[in-house]
Structure 1
Amino acid sequence: MDRANEITEQLRAIRNVESVVVYGPDEANLLIVTTDLEPATLRTLADPVRWWIKKTASWPRLFTAALIQDSLDVFPIEILELSQRRRVLYGNDPFVAVRIDHGALRIQCERELREKMMRLREAYVEHHGTYDLVDVSRQTFARIFRGCLVLFDMPVPTDDDDVIKALCARLDLDARPFFDGDFESYYRVLSATEARIDRLIVSKRRRYEAQ
């Protein structure tokens, strides 16, 4: 029995579990939707969650259906990440009614870009010449770029490298620094991306609907 089937069998036996979803390119990420998140319910998840962490080294995300909806305006990038590349193992699809507001998404994309750029500058001061900062930070920015592609009403590829290439093409920026390790060029492209998202105006009526 593979890990997806095994965790499904463990969780479906718990009364308060409503849905079990795996997501991500290798389905190593797990989301559990329960009727509530009270301590008594959380205790019932302990054994399956420990088993999953031992198998995947990945902590499951714990939600209620209401919490997913309540998080849309605060964590749209995270909900977007959870809703894409998902497979429902048990119960109803918790993302079938998800509608992500483009205004909230733009704000978080800008905030995340600014915060990650700040961290990148700090890391460069401390570690330049020690290890490849482009390589260790590329995936972090690709995650934000997924949200940026949604803002431009563009398809979001599965592969991180394709996400980077797609957004750079949309913004008429050179994607090569993300792959050749040239930090100064990489930094300039990221700065230009940050500026473009800062200036982007989106309609408050636009919504992203999970497929």
Structure 2
Amino acid sequence: MAKIPHQPEEIFAEFTADLKSIFQDGLLSIILFGSGARGEYVRKKSDINFLVILSEEAIQTIGLAIPLVKKWRKRAVSLPLFLTPLYVKSSLDSFPMEFLEMKTHHRLVFGEDYLAPLEIKSEHLRLQCEREVKGKLLHLRQGYLSSQGKSRILRSLLIQSLPTFATIFSALLSLKGEPIPTKKLDIFLRTAEVFDLDTEVFRIIFQMRYERRKLSKPKLQDLTNKYIEEIRKLSKMVDKL
């Protein structure tokens, strides 16, 4: 049976060797990002996320990696993100938020570090933040209505929104010139402080997702209303950044 590693670095050498056996000189870089790079990896709960940079020629043979995807999924490695240097360079205006998150918290496993030198333009970052916050606000409102007040659906709506907001909030802190904390909870709490939001709302939802905190139906509905209101307030502030 495939062994799930206790820490991501336990598989670095084997994972690198597997990719080198396929792409050879076309393998330019392997970078760890996500919970493993932030020091929040939890065995059997967290995925291990890799960014793999290939040459333009090598990425045309990406299908050769299909057997490895199946092998490594059994060891908690999520589907690697395969990119080329050109794609990274030409996509900073399209995905500034995602590249900022990877740049802020990553660990070089093999080859050249393509993330450290990246320069994210604030105007691109602000525009994506506005689009994402307003889009998530609509999603929360629609989800609340379609839930018909059922606790199971409301709980899922709240906790599933959290990872995306962690990325958005990191970008908002960057726009404010604030250092981005390493831990997710600290990202939520610091953003709430900077934008004058209710920190307790985000703390409770974080506990629901990561600590399995449970709420009664009335408290869950009240929390949902407060959460939507805080995101509504944030959407107005982002519009003025």
TM-score, length basis structure 1: 0.87
Q: Secondary structure at the match of 1:66?
A: helix
State whether structure 2 residue 139 is matched by structure 1 residue 129: no
% identical aligned pairs:
28
Report deviation, 1:178.
1.6
Q: Distance in 2 between matches of 1:5 and 1:39?
A: 21
2:106 corresponding residue in structure 1: 86
Where does the alignment leave 5 or more consecutive residues of structure 1 unmatched? 201-211
Q: Secondary structure of 2:75's match?
A: helix
The aligned amino acid for 2:113 is D
User: How far, CA to CA, are the matches of 1:68 and 1:139 in structure 2?
Assistant: 22
Q: Which of 17, 23, 36 is matched with 1:26 structurally?
A: 36
Letter in 1 for 2:20: R
Q: Is the 8 A contact 1:25 1:158 kept in 2?
A: no
Q: 1:34: how far off?
A: 0.3
Whether 2:197 is the aligned partner of 1:178: answer no
The unaligned stretches of length 5 or more in structure 2 are 38-47, 205-219
User: How far is 1:95 from its partner?
Assistant: 1.2
Q: How far has the Cα of 1:45 moved from its partner?
A: 2.6
The answer to whether the 8 A contact 1:34-1:64 is kept is yes
Contact 1:37 1:64 in 2 (8 A): no
Alpha-carbon offset, residue 38 of structure 1: 6.3
**What is aligned with 2:209?**
none
Question: Alignment partner of 1:90: what SS?
Answer: strand
Deviations 1:78-109 (A, max 9, x none): 11122222111110101132000000000000
One-letter amino acid matched to 2:35: P
1: distance between equivalents of 2:115 and 2:160? 31
Separation of aligned partners in 2, 1:114 and 1:86:
28
Q: What CA distance in whole angstroms lies between the structure 2 residues aligned with 1:107 and 1:121? A: 22
Aligned partner letter, 2:18:
Q
For the pair 1:140 / 2:164, whether they are aligned, the reply is: yes
Structure with the largest fraction of strand: 1
1:141 offset after TM fit, Å?
A: 1.4
* Cα deviation, residue 71, structure 1: 0.8
Would the alpha carbon gap of residues 38 and 92 (structure 1) be closer, same or farther in structure 2, given more than 3 Å must change? Answer: closer
Determine helix, strand or coil for the equivalent of 2:86: helix
**Aligned-partner Cα distance in 1 for 2:234–2:145:** 21
- SS of the residue corresponding to residue 239 of structure 2 reads helix
State the Cα deviation string for residues 151-205 of structure 1 (Å, max 9, x = none). Answer: 00111112221111111111122211123351111111111111101111xxxxx
Q: Which amino acid aligns with 1:110?
A: E
Q: Which of structures 1 and 2 has the larger relative contact order (alpha carbons within 8 angstroms, sep 6+)?
A: 1
**How has the CA–CA distance of structure 1 residues 37 and 172 changed in structure 2, closer, same or farther, with 3 Å as cutoff?**
farther
Of 115, 119, 136, which aligns to 1:116?
A: 136
Taking the TM superposition and a 5 Å limit, the aligned residue runs for 1:1-211 are 2-13=10-21, 14-15=23-24, 16-27=26-37, 28-36=48-56, 40-56=60-76, 58-127=78-147, 128-131=149-152, 132=155, 133-180=157-204, 182-200=223-241
Bigger proportion of residues as helix = 2
Name the CA distance, whole Å, in 1 between partners of 2:160 and 2:176.
Answer: 26
Is the Cα contact below 8 Å between 1:150 and 1:156 reproduced in 2?
A: yes
Two-structure CA RMSD over aligned residues (Å) = 1.9
